[in-house]
Structure 1
Amino acid sequence: MQYFSGLRPADRFVVTTNYVETSLTDEILKRLYIPLIGLESIAVYQYLSQFLEKSQVSDEVTHYIVMNELKMNLSHFEQLRFRLEGIGLMKSFMKVTDEAQHFVYKLISPVMPDQFFNDPMLSVYLFQTVGKERFNQLKRHFCTERFDVSSYQEISKNYIDIYGTPKSPPASIYAGNDHLIKTRESLGIPVHQQTFDFEMLEMLLAQNMITKEQLTRDVRELIAQLSLLYDIAPTDMRRIILKSLTSNQTISHEDLRRNARDFYQFEHEGNLPALTISAEAEAAPKSDKNWFEMLDTTSPIEMLASFSQSEPTVKQKRMVESILEREKLPFGVMNILLQYVLLTSEMKLPQSYIEEIASNWKKLKLSSSEEAYNHAMKVEEKKKTRKTVQREKASYEKTPEWLNNQEQPKTAEAVTDLAEEKRKLEEELKNFWKEGES
């Protein structure tokens, strides 16, 4: 199993994106993201975007071009790339071949102003970075002018009044529409829900008759963000959630954000958290750790697409989703499982084989890509040892039968002949064993 061995100049990459760059996205990057991650990181983002020109996928080039044109070493380029990934502006994918490592750098749309200033992490970090006065100035810049129409009566016509009832179009009109450029809501800072112990939270909330159904997907994402932003444990999050319940027993997003912020400020003398780059992230990257971290946070469907350089079939997607749902395997474990099967099954994905391994790995309670990788390597080592033993046993069994049936000589002449015959036989066996080992 091959894996990331450090970024090299000869390694190749392509750039792709999920949005069309506009003057608004440029304004957002300059005004809202530069204060958070610095000018250099945004410069790398915009530098990579120029490879796209008028296409959504660039040609493949080597990292020599990055070193030559940006005048920076690849270690520094990686650190800036990590900042972009961490803030949610970029995703990276990798495939290893015998010739080189191949990367896909996917540029993600920056968060639009309405989502940015309502995001519990981005808004707080920007406020702490630029201060209250500048924060309000930036917010005003992205506000649209409002005209009070409350004293007016709307007289707009609707579609039916002007154009009549629409006719049903043929289904062929929508064929291939999945690949069209579309507007997608950016998710802001990517926070995996596995960073928070939801099992513990659900157990604590059950004591207050709060069910899993009340923790909707949006609420869970918000809880994961707030827990990371304010370093909130499940026991404290329980109290915050109870204070954020509405009269109809739903969890108010606004109250949840406010109560989490109040909790943090009470514990930290009125201060708010600031966005800082960890010393570990700034240090020289450790290649295997970066690879494992990438696998732990990458969707298995996206990993499959990158690893095989082709879109997984609908059947493959359903298989992966059903296994994830049934076995509850972490992303990293499932990614290693799929790569292991691809590399040991001639790039095929036999469903029964994958399900068997998934069930076994769940019983072993593997919780990360690194644990799964180490386990897979042990399995392969055992296979090699078993094959070696079987080969040696087969070689041993090739000993001529007449040797086992050799009668004991009784005369001195026979003893001499036997000694010579024995010497020759030992020489032959030595040669035989050498051949068996080669």
Structure 2
Amino acid sequence: MQYFSGLRPADRFVVTTNYVATPFTEEILKRLYIPLIGLESIAVYQYLSQFLDDAQVSDEVTHYIVMNELKMNLSHFEQLRFRLEGIGLIKTFMKVNDDSQHFAYKLISPVMPDQFFNDPMLSVYLFQTVGKERFNQLKRQFCTESYDLTGYREVSKNYIDVYGTPKAPSAEIYQDNERLIKTNPSLGIPVHQQTFDFDMLEMLLKQNLITKEQLTKEVRELIAQLSVLYDIAPTDMRRIILKSMTSDQSISQEDLRRNARDFYQFEHEGNLPALTVAEEPGPAAEVKTQLSWFEVMDTTSPVEMLASMSKSEPTVKQKRMIEMIIEREKLPFGVMNILLQYVMFSNEMKLPQAYIEEIASNWKKLKLETSEQAYNHVKKMNQQKKELQTRQSQRENSYEKTPDWINNMAQPAEMAEDTKDLAEEKRKLEAELKNFWKEGK
């Protein structure tokens, strides 16, 4: 959502939270989050937390206080806030009343070490940022030593043995309990499942007799995270899932993480992805938005593109054809989208499979990698076709025909006389042949 006039000093905000900060959560922010998003971003997070009162909700104040106390302009404050939102430490809400804008900054609990080091995105980004030695050092700082209880047996008393049977509580005890401070679990980096084409994945897995039910909620969330982290398309995710199946036909999340990581490292010479901040939009942002059609083509599933063009769901046969060609020819989404559009527009919105396969094979040899390259190739082909037709038309029109006045010219006297003699001899010969057949009867 875009602000109607940008963030202004007079805009008001409140701060709320879903947890109670402790020295332990401060240690997590300091040791695990600062390497990822920087000290300045964590400082803004901690600065906003000091507005909270005992009820975990602050009074409403203006952004003047941010400019005055942090000594930074609001544009820079927003960029730091965006980093906190992207890593899952803040959620921002907004409402507009007449000419005023009101914001609510909800501080989210940092994830606990157990979840952090098992999170496929947070753990990989930290490892890539600090290196193996420092990563293991940080990990050890949040590990506990477990005492070996071999040979011991538990002799603890239970509640009833000590306190007896509990009495029935009064209903008044539970009044207003919904207002009590409670901690909601943090989900780490917010990645929505809509970022991944699960429809395409389910269609591909159906061919291997893997059903929707096997893609549990936890597995779907992990797939969405891995697809963003390692930039994995549905066709590649299918192969990763098949390698991660267990003997009881469930999907091992541990194997899924490992196989996805191996896939990325194989494609990137052993490297892992790093957490990078996107470039801030500059003056050319509007121009880029107007020219984003190729970007849409490069990131849209061919099945979605086809459904959008035809205003109806593609048939199962069409979906299988698209998947087969993408998997066999390794064509990027953008190139496949341009191919389908080119074939449809030149074949009365039909999709003849043999024709598509022939073009796909040719485009693979040409090493077309983006929708823009494929589009320019189609334009070039059409231009060459027009030029060829023009040359053929010019050649046909340039053939010299014998003028009628030459055909109608009077023949020379000698040629006319010779023609007359030949005709007479021919007549005599025909008469002799007729007499010959009469005599033979």
TM-score range, shorter chain: 0.5 to 0.7
Matched, 1:246 2:246: yes
After superposition, the Cα gap between the structure-2 partners of 1:28 and 1:58, relative to the gap in structure 1 and judged at 3 Å, is same
Residue 179 (structure 1) shift: 2.4
Distance 1:218 1:226 in 2: 12
Contact 1:14–1:104 (CA<8 Å) still a contact in 2?
A: yes
SS at match of 1:24: helix
* Alignment correspondent of 2:163: 163
Worse-matched range after superposition: 79-88 or 271-280: 271-280
* Alignment correspondent of 1:394: none
Any idea what the Cα deviations from partners look like across 1:273-296, whole Å, max 9, x if unmatched? 000001146x58989x9xxxxxxx
* Alignment correspondent of 1:311: none
Distance 1:206 1:166 in 2: 54
Distance 2:20 2:67 in 1: 27
After superposition, the Cα gap between the structure-2 partners of 1:11 and 1:176, relative to the gap in structure 1 and judged at 3 Å, is same
Q: How does 1:16-415 map to 2 (within 5 A)?
A: 16-280=16-280
Give the aligned residue type for 1:264: Y
Any idea what the Cα deviations from partners look like across 1:191-224, whole Å, max 9, x if unmatched? 0110000000111111111111111111111000
Residue 94 (structure 1) shift: 0.3
* Alignment correspondent of 1:356: none
Distance 1:111 1:143 in 2: 15
Any idea what the Cα deviations from partners look like across 1:42-96, whole Å, max 9, x if unmatched? 0000000000143310000000000000000000000000000000000000000
Structure 2 unaligned regions, length at least 5: 289-441
Distance 1:10 1:53 in 2: 22
Distance 1:30 1:134 in 2: 14
Give the aligned residue type for 1:246: T
**TM-score under structure 1 length normalisation:** 0.63
How many residues matched? 287
Residue 146 (structure 1) shift: 1.6
Residue 145 (structure 1) shift: 2.1
SS at match of 1:105: strand
Residue 170 (structure 1) shift: 3.9
Residue 176 (structure 1) shift: 2.6
Give the aligned residue type for 1:169: P
Give the aligned residue type for 2:39: L
Residue 5 (structure 1) shift: 2.1
Distance 1:7 1:177 in 2: 37
After superposition, the Cα gap between the structure-2 partners of 1:142 and 1:95, relative to the gap in structure 1 and judged at 3 Å, is same
Worse-matched range after superposition: 16-25 or 146-155: 146-155
Distance 2:284 2:157 in 1: 60
Distance 2:242 2:34 in 1: 37
Give the aligned residue type for 1:204: L
Distance 2:175 2:284 in 1: 45
Distance 1:73 1:112 in 2: 33
Give the aligned residue type for 2:57: V
Distance 1:265 1:125 in 2: 14
SS at match of 2:7: coil
**TM-score under structure 2 length normalisation:** 0.62
After superposition, the Cα gap between the structure-2 partners of 1:68 and 1:285, relative to the gap in structure 1 and judged at 3 Å, is farther
After superposition, the Cα gap between the structure-2 partners of 1:98 and 1:140, relative to the gap in structure 1 and judged at 3 Å, is same
Any idea what the Cα deviations from partners look like across 1:140-165, whole Å, max 9, x if unmatched? 00111221112211111122322233
SS at match of 1:121: helix
Q: How does 1:6-25 map to 2 (within 5 A)?
A: 6-25=6-25
Which protein is bigger by CA-based radius of gyration?
2
Identity %: 83
After superposition, the Cα gap between the structure-2 partners of 1:284 and 1:274, relative to the gap in structure 1 and judged at 3 Å, is farther
Contact 1:2–1:96 (CA<8 Å) still a contact in 2?
A: no
Distance 1:87 1:285 in 2: 27
After superposition, the Cα gap between the structure-2 partners of 1:202 and 1:2, relative to the gap in structure 1 and judged at 3 Å, is closer
Q: Which has the higher contact order (CA 8 A, sep 6+)?
A: 1
* Alignment correspondent of 2:407: none
Any idea what the Cα deviations from partners look like across 1:325-368, whole Å, max 9, x if unmatched? xxxxxxxxxxxxxxxxxxxxxxxxxxxxxxxxxxxxxxxxxxxx
SS at match of 2:259: helix
CA RMSD of aligned residues (A): 2.1
Residue 3 (structure 1) shift: 5.1
Any idea what the Cα deviations from partners look like across 1:292-342, whole Å, max 9, x if unmatched? xxxxxxxxxxxxxxxxxxxxxxxxxxxxxxxxxxxxxxxxxxxxxxxxxxx
Residue 2 (structure 1) shift: 9.9
Distance 1:3 1:88 in 2: 21
Distance 1:15 1:180 in 2: 17
Residue 14 (structure 1) shift: 0.3
Distance 1:285 1:250 in 2: 48
